């Protein structure tokens, strides 16, 4: 009996520790606030944009899944479409220095021009702090936050988890779906999916 109580406590302790470690953004809950420096050297704070929809896009320019959406122009089209409607769009780069996708501010600015990308800003997150806050697993993982700063979508960009450009045409885009449905006053039909893509290249020391 004494043993079993001890073990139950141990299990509870491990579970608590795990929960704390894993506390991150969740659909239906408040989006964790953050402040970050963009490639244009401006500082952006998430909660300064309360009252607007915000899209977060995890980015790594060497990832073939990201390449699919940029080479096809799909991501740029989404950025233009939604920022044109007053939505804030943050591209977030959580690659650590020396890892795939890591860029300096000037490299990212060149990339944005070359790719004709149009996010509100590209946020540099080389420590992985914002990535961890949102438990970002992949690029291109997408998060949609509503004007009350609640996460209303977290997951894949669409329902075709491949690197094939030809799959974009027939795909259901989950970011569009979430934004269109919520703006029409409807429930978001698909609020969470597996965020397909390349693993986010966090610093090695992070656990």
Note the residues at the interface with another protein (CB under 8 A). 3-4, 7-8, 10-11, 14-15, 18-19, 22, 24, 26-28, 62-65, 99-100, 132, 135, 137-138, 154-155, 161-164, 191-194, 196-202, 204, 206-207
Choose between 12 and 183: whose C-beta lies nearer to another protein. Answer: 12
Question: How distant is the alpha carbon of residue 163 from its chain centre?
Answer: 18
The CB-of-19 to another protein minimum distance in angstroms stands at: 7
3-class DSSP assignment, residue 7: helix
Choose between 175 and 200: whose C-beta lies nearer to another protein. Answer: 200
Q: How far is CA 197 from CA 40, 94, 107, in A?
A: 26, 14, 22
Choose between 122 and 152: whose C-beta lies nearer to another protein. Answer: 152
Choose between 35 and 206: whose C-beta lies nearer to another protein. Answer: 206
The CB-of-102 to another protein minimum distance in angstroms stands at: 12
The CB-of-44 to another protein minimum distance in angstroms stands at: 24
The CB-of-199 to another protein minimum distance in angstroms stands at: 4
Q: Which tokens hold the place of 157? A: 């960009």
The CB-of-62 to another protein minimum distance in angstroms stands at: 6
Question: How distant is the alpha carbon of residue 196 from its chain centre?
Answer: 11
Among residues 39, 203, 35, the alpha carbon closest in space to that of 124 is found at: 39
Choose between 83 and 135: whose C-beta lies nearer to another protein. Answer: 135
Q: How far apart are CA 140 and CA 65, in angstroms?
A: 7
197 contacts 138 by C-beta, under 8 angstroms: yes
Q: How far is CA 194 from CA 45, 54, 85, 153, 190, in A?
A: 27, 20, 27, 11, 11
Question: How distant is the alpha carbon of residue 31 from its chain centre?
Answer: 11
């Amino acid at each position: 009996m004494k043993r079993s109580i001890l073990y139950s406590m141990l299990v509870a302790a491990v579970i608590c520790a795990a929960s704390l470690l894993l506390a991150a953004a969740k659909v239906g809950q408040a989006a964790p606030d953050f402040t970050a420096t963009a490639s244009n050297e401006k500082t952006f704070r998430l909660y300064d944009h309360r009252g607007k929809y915000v899209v977060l896009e995890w980015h790594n320019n060497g990832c073939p899944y990201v390449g699919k959406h940029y080479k096809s122009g799909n991501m740029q089209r989404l950025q233009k479409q939604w920022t044109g409607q007053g939505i804030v769009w943050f591209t977030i780069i959580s690659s650590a220095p020396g890892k795939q996708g890591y860029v300096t501010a000037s490299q990212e600015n060149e990339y944005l021009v070359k790719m004709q990308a149009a996010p509100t800003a590209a946020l540099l997150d080389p420590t992985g702090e914002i990535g961890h806050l949102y438990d970002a697993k992949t690029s291109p993982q997408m998060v949609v936050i509503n004007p009350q700063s609640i996460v209303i979508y977290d997951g894949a960009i669409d329902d075709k988890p491949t690197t094939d450009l030809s799959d974009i045409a027939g795909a259901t885009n989950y970011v569009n779906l979430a934004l269109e449905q919520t703006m029409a006053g409807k429930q978001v039909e698909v609020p969470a999916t597996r965020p397909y893509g390349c693993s986010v290249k966090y610093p090695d020391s992070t656990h």
